[in-house]
Amino acid sequence: MEGGDFSHYRAAFSILLDYRIDAPPILQDFLTYHEAIQGHSKRTVDEYFLDLRNFFRYIKIEKNLVPRSAEFDSIEINDIDLALIQSVTLADVYSYMNYLSRDRAQHPNSDQTEYGLKATSRARKVAAIRSFYKYLANKAKLISENPMQDLDSPRMKKALPRYLDLNSSIQLLESVDGPFQERDRCILTLFLNCGLRISELIGLNKTDVRGDQLRVLGKGNKERILYLNDACIHSLQDYLDVRDTMQPIDLRALFLSRRRTRISKAAVEKLVKKYLLKAGLDASQYSPHKLRHTAATLMLQNGVDVRTLQEVLGHDNLNTTQIYTHIDNENLRLAAKANPLGKVNPPSKKKSSIPQESED
């Protein structure tokens, strides 16, 4: 892969690249590297492509390569070459970020759109630009220095994750009934005990259940093994007893739809909302991902250290996991009460001995 010759990868994965026919070869090679070598999902690679396409559309306008009156979303980028890519500076990127935060339509195809992308959207675009230039410098060896090495991301507000408390979690599990109750209870049990992502749950195969272990394929096709507690083991066994009588069309899938094929993301989201409502909880505030937050929070509150939690959740970066350490919980209250000075009360106020002046 040295020297930037990814032509053999591009040929092998030409089918994957059909929808990127307007991308120049240098960008196609980058996208192929992420999809075929890094194992990133098609959705992630699509987002990289769209983000970089818009960035180079802006660069072409700023470098006077197209008229400033040109329709932004119609600007072609298949003529982008290495010389133009090397000419981009940090100042160009920050100018682009300014354009995104002030002038870029949030919904370009809507007449009712607002303008200015949120920090989270801009941060994703920064990540795409940074990744592209890192690839050119470190993998393709097409540039000697990475001009985006010091590129900063927009500052973002860190909101604490929303989660269910223990009683609400039990309430949710007890709300499950109906013809698919074994399947649905098993899904909720895995969310609340293992902290799975929804993509990980629907991707589970029957062979991933291995006694008291569960093989999970996470982001970037990274495999991890989770140990199952009694609730998960019993719930899985109850569901598998039913599943084996369903005559599955998809023999590999662990969780089946009513059509006996692999359950979809939409179906899982729908059943979670259904039982949230049935349990009397606010379905607009919670989702499968909030159940993942719930699992993480309950584990941390009950003695799991943050590094172990990082492995359970499949986080690459410990900083991602540490957000859960800031959640108000009983451990923090106990820590406050443990300080011996907490029982030292301030002295009571003494009456002043200074004589008061008369009011006459």
What residues act catalytically? 197, 219, 289, 292, 315, 324
The C-alpha atoms of residue 236 and residue 238 are separated, in whole angstroms, by 5
Q: What does the alpha-carbon distance between residue 124 and residue 67 come to, in Å, rounded to a whole number?
A: 27
Bridge partner list, 227 = 213
CA distances from 97 to 40, 119, 275 (A): 25, 10, 42
Tell me the C-alpha distance between 309 and 286, whole Å.
21
Strands 209-210 and 223-227: unpaired
